[in-house]
Chains A and B, each alone.
Chain A
């Protein structure tokens, strides 16, 4: 029998998930970056028309949305690590972390607006 009481682990239990999230989102961003570099080389640079045509593609918009969502989640894990290292007063840390979450969610909304809004 496993003694569950003796096995009890303390902590917030998001360490492994964050570790994995940081890596999976990094790979997503790496792949998107290679796609964009490939498109840039294939096109030999962009003018206004070809730049708009690239962003008019539904597939590219979805891939870019995946990129931005990955980036914002990745940024959250990284910025939280930084706040945990340098901001010791709990009130200050919670205030900064709350502001960071609010800003990241705003960025996600802004991204949706740019990708599927008036620019379409």
Chain B
């Protein structure tokens, strides 16, 4: 098998100013999938493990943990992580469905990205209402 002849490199300018390109919703959901994953790695995992350890201690330790977590700032951090978990999970389920060739045409893919985006926020707001 012979290798194909080299393709001439395009000399046109490459325009990739990410801040001025209008991103379609699936792209935004994809960026948030990565960002939420990074947030879960950096803050979600260590804080969850620490919280689990604190909550499984004595009744006194559990009570002081509950007091700490009821602080408004702690609730905001928890909500940010809840959103990250939900968005990452829902975007992941969408990914698995796309892998199975479910909803791969453009209209369906746009719709499912909107569902992921909105559902993660709605569920997070629902939990926020429960917390306050």
Contacts and interface: CB of A to CB of B under 8 A. Distances in A.
Interface of A: 6, 23, 26-27, 29-30, 33, 48, 51-52, 55, 71-72, 75, 78-79, 82, 107, 110-111, 114, 119
Contacts of B93: 30
Interface in B94-119: 96, 99
Nearest to A29: B89
B93 to A, nearest CB: 7
B contact patch SS: helix
Contacts, number: 47
Nearest to B66: A48
A23 to B, nearest CB: 6
Interface of B: 1, 34, 37-38, 40-41, 45-46, 49, 52-53, 55-57, 59, 62-63, 89, 92-93, 96, 99
Contacts of A79: 38, 41
Contact of A82 (B38, B53, B92): B38
A78 B59 CA distance: 37
Contact of B57 (A78, A111, A119): A119
Contact of A48 (B41, B46, B62): B62
A107 B59 contact: no
B89 A30 contact: yes
